[in-house]
Every structure is written in C-alpha cells, then in structure tokens.
C-alpha cells in the first residue's frame, strides 16, 4: 500500500540507498518484478527476517524523532486559541 511504500522510500533515503535501489530495480524489472530481491541486495542483508527487523527498528526510531520534532514545533507555533481580554479592559468599556 501507499503508506508502506512511503516508509520504505524514507528508510532507503535516510541510508542514501533510494537512488541506487531505484536504478537497479528499473534495470531488473523483468527478473525481479516485486523488487524484493533487489531491496535485499541494496540494503545488504542476508535474510528477509533481517530486513524486516532492520526496517521495523527504523520505523520506531523515525516515529520517535517525528514526535520530538512535533513537540518542539508546537511550543514555538502560534496558537488558534482565543485570547481572553483582561478584565480591566472590559470594566473600562462598560463604564463608557
């Protein structure tokens, strides 16, 4: 699915392997239509389970990093919450 493909591309890009993978995948499309063998070769793992383990570890690390970035940017962003005017301003307006 799209989300899984996106994460695989991010995984490869972070390791600077996306472009080599894509080039090799295109040249081997007839002999490796799923791209699985090419992916294993590019990432240099010996088994499917090793690749799966590496990928899952990366996803957990990626999500942790994204949560930290979001928390930092939330503290520095503008808020859409309405600001309550000070009570003195309301009392002064009533007296006019």
DSSP assignment string, 25-58: HHHTTTT-TT-HHHHHHHHT-SSHHHHHHHHHHH
Give the structural domain span for 44: 2-76
Q: Is residue 16 assigned to a domain?
A: yes
Q: Is residue 95 assigned to a domain?
A: no
Q: Is residue 72 assigned to a domain?
A: yes
Q: Is residue 52 assigned to a domain?
A: yes
35 CB burial (10 A radius; 0-12, 13-18, 19+): middle
Say what the pLDDT of residue 5 is: 92
Q: Is residue 61 assigned to a domain?
A: yes
Q: Is residue 88 assigned to a domain?
A: no
* Mean pLDDT per 10-residue interval, the chain, length 96 residues: 92 96 96 94 93 94 83 57 60 59
Q: Is residue 89 assigned to a domain?
A: no
The total number of structural domains in the chain stands at 1
CB 17 within 8 A of CB 25: no
């Amino acid at each position: 699915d799209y989300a899984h493909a996106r994460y695989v591309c991010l995984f490869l890009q972070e390791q600077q392997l996306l472009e080599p993978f894509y080039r090799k995948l295109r040249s081997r499309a007839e002999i490796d239509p799923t791209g699985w063998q090419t992916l294993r070769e590019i990432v240099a793992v010996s088994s499917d389970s090793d690749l799966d383990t590496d990928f899952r570890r990366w996803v957990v690390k990626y999500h942790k990093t994204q949560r930290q970035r979001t928390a930092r940017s939330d503290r520095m962003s503008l808020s859409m919450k309405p600001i309550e005017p000070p009570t003195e301003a309301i009392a002064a307006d009533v007296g006019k």
